[in-house]
Amino acid sequence: MAVVFEKTKYLTDKVFHYCPGCGHGIIHRLVAEVIDEMNLNGKVIGVAPVGCSVFAYDYFNCDMYEAAHGRAPAVATGVKRVVGKDTLVFTYQGDGDLASIGTAEIVHVAHRGEKISTIFVNNAIYGMTGGQMAPTTLVGQKATTCPKGRDEDWCGKPIKMAEMLSAVPSSYYIERCAVNNTANINKTKKAIAKAFRLQMEGKGFCMVEVLSPCPTNWGLAPTEAMKWLEDNMMPYYPLGVFKDKEAE
Amino acid sequence: MALTLMKGSEAIAEAAIRAGARYFFGYPITPQTEIPEYMSARMPEVGGCFLQAESEVAAINMVYGAGGTGARVITSSSSPGVSLKQEGISYCAGANVPCVIINVMRGGPGLGNIQASQGDYFQGTKGGGNGDYHLLTFAPSSVQEFIDLMMVAYDKAEYYRIPVLFLADGIIAQMMEPVELPEMVDFKIDPEKKPWACTGWQPGDDPEKRGIINSIYIDTESLAVHNDELQAMYKTVIENEQQWEEFNCEGADYIITAFGTVARIAKSAITELKAQGINVGLIRPITVWPFPYDAIKKVVAQDSVKAVLDVELNEGQMLEDVKLAIGGAKDVDFFGHCGSQMPTTDEIVAKILSMKEGK
């Protein structure tokens, strides 16, 4: 019988710990498939964050680091400065990690034009610790640390990392995608592939932000969560390319 | 080999390069900024990398990243900056990432001042970051000793897979001394010697050799095993790596304990006291972790020794280890200053005389 599909070898056989309906499983597979298709012969090192994807080192089947909370871009910098241009170095980070505790590290990795790629999974909540307000939590969205919903007067408006990092002079390519439907999943994979290709071509810092559902902490069924993402996150976090120096 | 007159911070930086360090990540802070300045000029000459990080937090995480590839990596800072590094140091310890960290101590707590201090002894020897870990912590008392210890620091860091900390007061970095610099070590990353490092693994390779630089062990049993392994390693470090200097200890009436630059002042005081017919010895820990408890206990146990004086450039931190070593067998007195005022020879002489007079 002809084999028509195989799981990419850049994912281990370890069973994901992610909740039903979580977007991490899809995004992990996209990242791993892109790595596989690049034929890097082991020249790839990933850096996992703190948060729901803290165990990404158990899932991505390549050399991996587990970084301190928010510090993945700094760790990746240290790695890249040693291994050089022939090795793909990527960070995989959530919104609590990247957009809150790790803002200094992500801004300065972009500022230095560090030749690494970041996959930024934005689900507008702290997942691993059980649904606290993130910098990305929408105004009015309920979380365990804003039980009445995010109050703009008290906490400000959610931070837009793709837009913000696009304003950093040395960032190279910044795109926001989503995994809410097949078409957008395919677009996400293309964006990841582009970010990784640009890195291997020696270009500057690239980030793909991916809007991703968190049914568990949003208190919704998986299908409802997809709809909530479309109705609430996508209007505030518009999809698209925010910076592309290659196209300029 | 000829002696060269060099500023401490520059000599230390050059020694690190000669010991094989090729990656420096740091952030400016007085009184050690000459180290990153020197590195920024020197690293490119040897094909190395100098990178000024956005913070000490980022710098130590860059060390974690670069160290995990098997490279010889270094960062330097001073007290408030080293406090910021503690998170990353704990991760390096937890993930067994060999590296070298320099703390050129200045006065504290908080922003303190920019003068020499030994106020980070607790931080450097008792943890500093979270969890049950230790660093191999050297406390050199001269620029030459700093250089000589640097030349073996990476071998030890890699052998045990332990971060090495240099705990130096600001005097060491800021003074000039004649030094002899050793030859350049020929170091290359060898994946065979460092099977744990991230050096390029692909699916199909030996699964045991996939590089995973990590300090999380989420289930209780795994973390217990990991900590047992760390403790077993620390035990061998304690057994093998204690270093100390004894000066005029045999038959001494009093023993001074001191580390770093303060020990040199103590030696001057001992010489003066000898001229007055008072026999005083010095025991100086070179490794402050592992601490030479037994060596101090043995010296102090001599019948001739009446009492012990611990002298530090702080309010009495190593004092606690000295007391642990002696276990109440002899009286232990303390003389020290905070606020980064160096104890003087005259002050130490006066203190010993007052002890002698039973004051």
**DSSP-assigned states of every residue in B117-153:** --TTHHHHHS-SSSSS---EEE--SSHHHHHHHHHHH
Give B104→chain A minimum CA distance, Å.
23
Per-residue confidence (pLDDT) for residue A203, from 0 to 100: 97
Best probe of the B interface among A47, A57, A75, by most B CBs < 10 A, is A75
Its domain, for residue A138, covers: 24-244
Residue A197, domain member (yes or no): yes
Taking only the tens place, the pLDDT of each residue in B149-162 is: 999 999 999 999 99
Best probe of the A interface among B43, B85, B205, B213, by most A CBs < 10 A, is B213
For chain A, first and last CA: distance in Å? 48
Q: Rounded to an integer, what distance in angstroms lies between the CA atom of residue A73 and that of residue A92?
A: 9
Q: Rounded to an integer, what distance in angstroms lies between the CA atom of residue B149 and that of residue B291?
A: 16
Pairing mode, if any, of strands B212-213 and B49-52? unpaired
Q: What is the CATH number of domain B245-356?
A: 3.40.50.920
Whether residue B1 is predicted with pLDDT greater than 80 in this model: the reply is: no
Residue A16, domain member (yes or no): no
Residue A6, domain member (yes or no): no
> Domain holding A235: CATH number?
3.40.50.970
Per-residue confidence (pLDDT) for residue B341, from 0 to 100: 86
Q: How many domains does chain A have?
A: 1
Which residues does A227 contact at the CB level (< 8 Å), separation at least 6?
A: none
Q: Give the closest residue to A48 by CA, choosing from A69, A32, A31.
A: A69
Q: Is B115 helix (H, G, I), strand (E, B) or coil?
A: coil
Residues of A numbered 83-102 whose beta carbons fall under 8 angstroms of chain B's beta carbons: which are they? 83, 87
Residue A18, domain member (yes or no): no
Q: Rounded to an integer, what distance in angstroms lies between the CA atom of residue A38 and that of residue A32?
A: 10
Same fold, B4-179 and B245-356: yes
Residue A144, domain member (yes or no): yes
Taking only the tens place, the pLDDT of each residue in A207-222 is: 999 999 999 999 999 9
Q: Give the closest residue to A102 by CA, choosing from A128, A140, A71, A133.
A: A71
Give the one of A61, A71, A77 whose C-beta lies nearest to B203's C-beta: A61
Residue A4, domain member (yes or no): no
Domain boundaries along the sequence of chain B = 4-179, 245-356
A–B interface: beta-carbon pairs under 8 A: 129
User: Are A33 and A185 contacting, i.e. CB atoms less than 8 angstroms apart?
Assistant: no
- Render A173-242 in DSSP notation, one character per residue: EEEEEE-SSHHHHHHHHHHHHHHHHHHHTT--EEEEEEE---HHHHT--HHHHHHHIIIIIHHHS--EEE
Residue A97, domain member (yes or no): yes
Per-residue confidence (pLDDT) for residue B127, from 0 to 100: 86
Q: Rounded to an integer, what distance in angstroms lies between the CA atom of residue A136 and that of residue B195?
A: 40
Q: What is the CATH number of domain B4-179?
A: 3.40.50.970
Mean pLDDT (chain B, rounded): 96
Q: What is the pTM of this model?
A: 0.97
Give the one of A61, A78, A87 whose C-beta lies nearest to B65's C-beta: A78
In degrees to the nearest 10, what's the CA dihedral of A210, A212, A217, A223? 170
Q: Across the strands, what pairs with B178?
A: B5
Helix residue spans in B253-344 (DSSP H): 261-275, 293-300, 318-326
Angle between helix B318-326 and B293-300 (nearest 10):
60
Averaged pLDDT, A65-73: 98
Per-residue confidence (pLDDT) for residue B168, from 0 to 100: 95
User: Are B113 and B169 contacting, i.e. CB atoms less than 8 angstroms apart?
Assistant: no
